[in-house]
Amino acid sequence: MNAPAQDRPRTLVAGVGNIFLGDDGFGVETVRALAGQPLPAHVEFADIGIRGVHLAYQLLDGYDALVLVDATARGGEPGTLYLIEPEPGGGAVAPTDAVALDGHRMSPDAVLALLDTLCAGTGAAAPGRVLVVGCEPACVEEGIGLSPQVAAAVPGAVRMITDLVHQTAPAPTGLTRGAHP
**pLDDT per residue over 98-157, tens digit each?**
434 554 455 667 777 777 777 777 777 778 888 899 999 999 999 999 999 999 999 999
Instruction: Give the pLDDT confidence of 12-47 residue by residue, as tens digits.
Output: 899 989 999 999 999 999 999 998 888 889 899 888
Contact criterion met (CB below 8 Å) for 62 and 6: yes
Q: Residue 168 in contact with residue 44, Cβ under 8 Å? A: no
pLDDT grade for 160, boundaries at 50, 70 and 90: very high
The pTM of the full predicted model, rounded to 2 decimals, is: 0.78
Q: What angle do CA 8, 125, 13 make, to 5 degrees?
A: 60
